[in-house]
Amino acid sequence: MAITAGDVRNGLTVEVEGGVYQVIEFQHVKPGKGAAFVRTKLKDVRNGGVVEKTFRPTEKLEEARIDRSDMQYLYNDGDLYYFMDVTTYDQIALSKEQIGDNLKFVKENEMCKIMSYKGEVFSVEPPTFVELEITETEPGFKGNTATGATKPAIVETGAQVMVPLFIDQGTKIKIDTRTGEYLSRV
């Protein structure tokens, strides 16, 4: 579907010069002299690079349709990560490059969102919050509740997270996957 540059808004995904970009910022500029234009900051959805482009307000842009599908993370086998569509039982394998750092807090059998454009997968979005068990950390001490003090801990997926001093090995915790921050005990 074609839209005009004047209708651009944050979060919109557009096709520009063969690339697929998401609008991060936009600004309608009306200089004292000359024609108005739209200044945009676009993020390449495939590689994460950010570019700045300007458009005339009447210029046509092609809206890119991004497919988001829920899939279950099954397991990884070396450099390949396997996912299954729970309705059709179709499986896909994604490389470490396609996944990036997005699965460091995700256990096997958890649901993730797979983002694709024209059948080409470019990103995996983990669940926003996950519950994981601490497998390795220094022991906590009774009464050790210094405000804001943290220590490193390793969770069952192998990722490191900073936790309060009173958290012990074997404790289940809730983590925000967007920031990698400890939220609470479970």
What stretch of H or E contains 132?
A: strand 129-137
Q: What confidence score (pLDDT) does residue 143 get? A: 59
Q: How far is CA 86 from CA 92, 112, 125, 131, 167, in A?
A: 12, 11, 16, 21, 35
* Regions of the chain with pLDDT less than 50: none
Classify 159 as helix, strand or coil.
Answer: coil
Q: What confidence score (pLDDT) does residue 147 get? A: 67
| Mean pLDDT taken over the chain | 87
Domains defined along the chain, listed by start = 2-63 (2.30.30.30), 66-125 (2.40.50.140), 129-185 (2.40.50.140)
Tell me how many degrees the CA angle 38-49-40 measures, rounded to the nearest 5: 5
